[in-house]
Structure 1
Amino acid sequence: MPKSLTLRSGVGSVLFWSVISAAFIGPGSVTACAMAGSRFGLSLLWALTFSTLSTILLQEAAARITLASGLSFGEVITHSYGAKAPWIARILFIAISVGCAAYQAGNILGAVAGLSLLTHLPTTGLTIAVGVVCVTLLWQGSTRLIANFLGLIVFAMGIAFAYVAFNSGQSTGTFLKALVVPSLPADSLVLVISLIGTTIVPYNLFLGSGLSTNQTLREMRWGIGLAVLIGGLTSMAILAAGTLVTGEFSFQSVAQTMSAQLGDWAGALFAFGLFAAGFTSTLTAPLASAVTAQSLLGWSAGSTAYRAVWLLVMAVGLTFGLLGVRPIPIIIAVQAINGILLPFVTVFLFRAVNNQTLLGQYRNSPAQNVAMGFVVLVTAGLGGWNLWLALGSGQ
């Protein structure tokens, strides 16, 4: 008889899988969502609906591969390509690691920007403090401890932004319509791409697959579904809160505008949300790169090579932070890297989840294939547009 899903196991699964929502709700999401709300009101909410549902679909598929076959997503790739597998694994690992390092730069810059808004302390000291705390947590080696810790911060951040959004003056009818009716106002395409690209993150598929052991299929689906939904609703709340912002966009202007319109508490909550988003992603980006190495290259968790991977990703982020680079340009620039990687990873996932030999009855159903095929086509278009825009802007 299948294991029943109790309230305790259900809540525990949601908290555990919040590592995924913690990974995609980073400074990039805060920046893109708040900027979308500031420039276009609620018009781009539908992009978050699409990306949230797509993330649930793709993460469930990646985790189902591991639960059904006992192999991680990366191991299935290496098993599927014979003599070409080592080269494919190395290329994917390098690409994912570069993406994680790029994200890490934005993550630390965002976390420190939030702390700076809250405390007005020197950014150099704050950068070092964030780095020391993150290295300490990652060195412990317990992914469940990290996942639960991140889950609590994500929930707190979601409550903070939801409270701000509730006071933004938007009507329920307007909000619900914007959730499901696609709209492309003039000059909004870049932000639409950013909203989707910051939610459907390539390295999360390797991270989720690598963390999905020791759960039943029902627990996994329940945990991923609710955790990602909470993350998506948090992004939507950030966008709604961003509608309060006018003028040139910066973290300082967002905090000042929200404080002026709703009180000092609103600016402080934005600063906390920015810090929380950056801090949670500062943990997950190095962890994801190490889990990807474990999945694709067979490096064991806790080994010297495994730790060297996440330490290198952490070092890249700290270097950018200590150099005092402006955070918003870096955060926006890394979305091009995400867009380039995303369609390739989703195609690999589509092939893997249809492997009859490995998955048997757990392979995709026709309905799942139609839904995933649609997501693959959209993400391929997203990747092409991001590459075109990146080349066109000289990035």
Structure 2
Amino acid sequence: MAKDKSGFIIAAAFIGPGTVTTASIAGANFGFHLMWALLFSIAATMVLQDMAARLGIATGNGLAAGLKDISENRGLKVFFSALVVAAVGIGNAAYESGNLTGAAIGLDAFLQIGTGNWAMILGGISAALLYNGKYKMIESVLVILVIAMALVFFVTLFAASPDWSAMLGQALSPRLDAEAITMILALIGTTIVPYNLFLHASLTAQNYAGEDKAAAIEASRKQSIFAIGFGGLITLVVMATAMLAFFGQQAQMDASNMGKQLEPVLGESAQWFFAAGLFAAGLTSSITAPLAASYAVCGALNWSTDLNSRAFKAVWMSIIATGVVIAGAGFKPLAAILFAQAANGLLLPIVAIFLLVVMNKGKTLGHFKNKMPSNVLGIVVVGFVVCLGLYKLASLF
């Protein structure tokens, strides 16, 4: 069996600065009243990523190629290709800006030259790592740093001696109102990341080529459930530490004091450690987002998905460049990150609906196509996110 780590790569991809920042803001402003949104996001991620991985293993192709096989009609094929390019391109550009902004916030705590300038430098680093193909080694180091940060969050939570009954009381009093809807969409968008569906399908298609498909799907499913579940637990603990530090307190959380939530363990070093972790999370995600966009766009346009092909490189370069421009445009850092996550939450239904359609193509998938339980869960996930998006739009008027 192939040594596949795609489940852990997916988990590392969504535990970026957007996740850390969004979970921190959610905990600081809403306590545990939005824990339900996070739990829903984790369960939904497991369902959708399992479909994407199964598609890659069963067909040997990525999600973009699968979308084009929905219909034999040439006009519809062109439409689906355009949709993939537009949806993933826009989504990843927004997500990339959030990744670069989050990492820039971390670096700016060490050397204040402005988050816009740091975003440009980070964009250049990400491009250099992708260009020379050594990003996997760097990514492994950065993932270790993110895990180290997560461990500190765990230790901090228990060292702070939280009121567990109060946390449970808030969790059992969920909020879903106009004030909380943007944050709910952001929590969903930072966890169920549309581009991860494309990335997971492409990675499993490559890593399990020539393997027994049934065994590969089972192995991939177990790994993904564990990795995504662990990522969700990290997000939950970040939310909890922010709640303890800021919820119901006079101090308001902003880019300059987010690290305060780690002070019970790290004291004056908290802000520096938080900044280093935010940088590691940001650089990791700023590599995976353009990589996923290249797989999706090249697959949709019948271009080579070889990492060294000109078309593949052109796509990820465009995503990084757009992310740098948006990150350097002068938006407030936390607002930019939150917007990126909310945008992903709104784009998610588009990708998820077509994933469901593809996964019901018996001609392509054979007996690996969706069974009734998978379809029901998928429809529930898509329906709920669509309703949230419509509620968000209605609340603007």
| Superposition TM-score, scaled by structure 1 size | 0.87
1:339 and 1:382 in contact (8 A); partners too: no
- Report what 1:167 is aligned to: 159
Q: 2:175 aligns with which of 184, 190, 214?
A: 184
Q: Give the CA deviation at 1:52.
A: 0.8
Q: 1:345 aligns with which of 343, 351, 356?
A: 351
Query: Residues 371 and 96 (structure 1 numbering): CA distance in 2 closer, same or farther, change over 3 Å?
Result: same
**Aligned residues with identical type, % of pairs:** 33
Which stretches in structure 2 are left out of the alignment for 5+ residues? 209-215
Q: Give the CA deviation at 1:311.
A: 0.5
- Report what 1:218 is aligned to: 218
Q: Give the CA deviation at 1:124.
A: 5.9
CA displacement 1:247-266 (0-9 Å, x = unmatched): 33312122346448961233
Q: Give the CA deviation at 1:129.
A: 3.6
In the alignment, structure 1 residue 275 sits paired with structure 2 residue 273 = no
- Report what 2:98 is aligned to: 106
Q: 1:250 aligns with which of 245, 248, 254?
A: 254
- Report what 2:321 is aligned to: 315
Rounded to whole Å, the distance in 2 between the matches of 1:31 and 1:380 is 24
CA displacement 1:293-335 (0-9 Å, x = unmatched): 1221222122111111111111122234445442122222233
In the alignment, structure 1 residue 54 sits paired with structure 2 residue 47 = no
Q: Give the CA deviation at 1:235.
A: 0.9
Rounded to whole Å, the distance in 2 between the matches of 1:61 and 1:97 is 22
Deviates more, 1:187-196 or 1:165-174: 165-174
- Report what 1:385 is aligned to: 391
Which stretches in structure 1 are left out of the alignment for 5+ residues? 4-8
Query: Residues 386 and 204 (structure 1 numbering): CA distance in 2 closer, same or farther, change over 3 Å?
Result: farther
Q: Give the CA deviation at 1:155.
A: 2.2
SS of 2:322's partner is helix
Rounded to whole Å, the distance in 2 between the matches of 1:203 and 1:382 is 20
Rounded to whole Å, the distance in 1 between the matches of 2:385 and 2:369 is 21
- Report what 1:6 is aligned to: none
Rounded to whole Å, the distance in 2 between the matches of 1:168 and 1:388 is 40
SS of 1:184's partner is coil
Query: Residues 378 and 114 (structure 1 numbering): CA distance in 2 closer, same or farther, change over 3 Å?
Result: same
2:27 and 2:240 in contact (8 A); partners too: yes
Query: Residues 153 and 361 (structure 1 numbering): CA distance in 2 closer, same or farther, change over 3 Å?
Result: farther
Rounded to whole Å, the distance in 2 between the matches of 1:152 and 1:198 is 20
Would you say how many aligned residue pairs link Structure 1 and Structure 2?
380
Rounded to whole Å, the distance in 2 between the matches of 1:122 and 1:330 is 15
- Report what 2:190 is aligned to: 198
Q: Give the CA deviation at 1:91.
A: 2.3
Q: Give the CA deviation at 1:385.
A: 3.1
CA displacement 1:1-38 (0-9 Å, x = unmatched): xx5xxxxx7xx54x543221222223322222111111
Rounded to whole Å, the distance in 1 between the matches of 2:137 and 2:196 is 18
In the alignment, structure 1 residue 263 sits paired with structure 2 residue 267 = yes
Q: Give the CA deviation at 1:63.
A: 1.0
2:185 and 2:346 in contact (8 A); partners too: no
Letter matched to residue 256 of structure 2: Q
- Report what 2:212 is aligned to: none
Letter matched to residue 367 of structure 1: P
- Report what 2:298 is aligned to: 294
